[in-house]
Amino acid sequence: MSAVSAIETLRALGAESISAKTHISLQNVRALLDEEFDRFAPVQFSGFVTILEREYGLDLSEWRQRYAQQKAPASQEEPVSHENDPFVNAARASRHHRRTITGLVVLLVLSIGVTVFVLGGNRAEEKIELNNTAIEAAQKKMASLSAAASSKTATDQADAIQAAHQSEGAEAETTPEAVVYDDVIIRPRTKVWLGVIDAQTRKRYTRTTAAPWRLDGSKAWLIVTGHGLLSLECGGIDASFAERDRLLFLYEDGKCRRIDAAEFKARNRGRIW
C-alpha cells in the first residue's frame, strides 16, 4: 500500500475510531490527520506514527519525511556588532585616556632621571637633592590631567548613553531613564522542540533541546513549544507548566502572556508557525 493511500485510509477511518483503538488522544489524532506536525516533539511524533503503523499495518514514511522537513533547523541569530555601541565606545575612550596619562607620567619620570644623571656627571662628589617644589608642581600637573581626563570620559559616557536611548529626530529637553528588560528564559524539563519568531523582523528560529534557551528581553517574541513540560521566566514572572500539548506565548514591551492559536496566527500572518 502506498504512503498516500495509507494516509487517506486513516482519514477515512476517522479520528474518533482511531483514538478508540490506539488510545491516542482525539486531539492528537486530529492534529496528525490534519498534518499539524508542529504540535509534536520528535519523540512524541515518532511514537504516535509507530503505533498507527503497527495497529493498521500501514507505511507512514511519507509523514516522517514531511515532519523531518518541517523540523529542519533554521539559521541562527546573526552575530551582534558592537561597532556603534555607545557603551563599548565610551569604554575604549576611557582606556585611551588612561594610556595617555600613563605615558605622561613615564615621560616626566624619565625627564627627572635624565636631569639627575646630567647633574651627577658634572658634580661627581656632590649629592643631588631633587627640588621638592618641582616635584609637587609635577604631581599637581598630573592630578589636573587625570581629573580632566576623567571628567571628559564621564562626559563622553553620559553623551553616549543619552544618544543611544533618545528617539531619532526628537528634541526632548530631558533624557528619560533607560528601560532595561530581563531576558526571556525557557527551561525545558525534558527534550522539547521550541520555535520563536522575532515579532518585528518575522525571522524564525527553532531548537530541539533540554537545555535552557535565553531570548533577548529588549525584543518582542512569539513563542511556540512542542509540549508543555517546562517553565518560563518571562516579563518578571517565573511560571511552570505540566501539559502534554503545545503552548503559545507572546512577549512584548517587557510583558509576557499566554495566547491562543487565533491570536498567534493573527500576529504571524495567519500561520501557526
Radius of gyration of the chain measured on its C-alpha atoms: 33
Going edge to edge, which strands form the sheet with 184-188? 213-215, 184-188, 228-234, 237-243
From residue 219, how far is each of 58, 183, 260, 271 by CA, in Å? 46, 9, 21, 20
Residue 151 predicted with pLDDT over 80: no
8 Å CB contact between 154 and 163: no
pLDDT at residue 44 greater than cutoff 70: yes
d(CA 54, CA 22): 10
Q: Which residue has the higher pLDDT, 80 or 23?
A: 23
Domain locations along the chain: 3-70, 86-165, 184-267
Higher pLDDT residue, 121 or 268? 268
The predicted structure's pLDDT at residue 99: 73
pLDDT for 157 equals: 53
The model's pLDDT over 221-232, given as tens digits with 9 standing for 90+, comes to 999 999 999 999
Report, as an integer, the average pLDDT of 148-153.
50
Winning range, highest mean pLDDT, from 110-114, 141-145, 181-185? 181-185
Q: pTM value?
A: 0.38
Question: In 3-state terms, the chain is what percent helix, strand and coil (to 5)?
Answer: 50, 20, 35
At 272 the pLDDT is 87
Q: Given a cut of 60, is residue 5 above it in pLDDT?
A: yes
Highest mean pLDDT among 30-44, 89-103, 133-147, 158-172: 30-44
Compute the average pLDDT of residues 26-37. Answer: 94
What is the number of alpha carbons within 13 Å of residue 144 lying toward its C-beta? 6
Confidence at 235, pLDDT banded by 50, 70, 90? confident
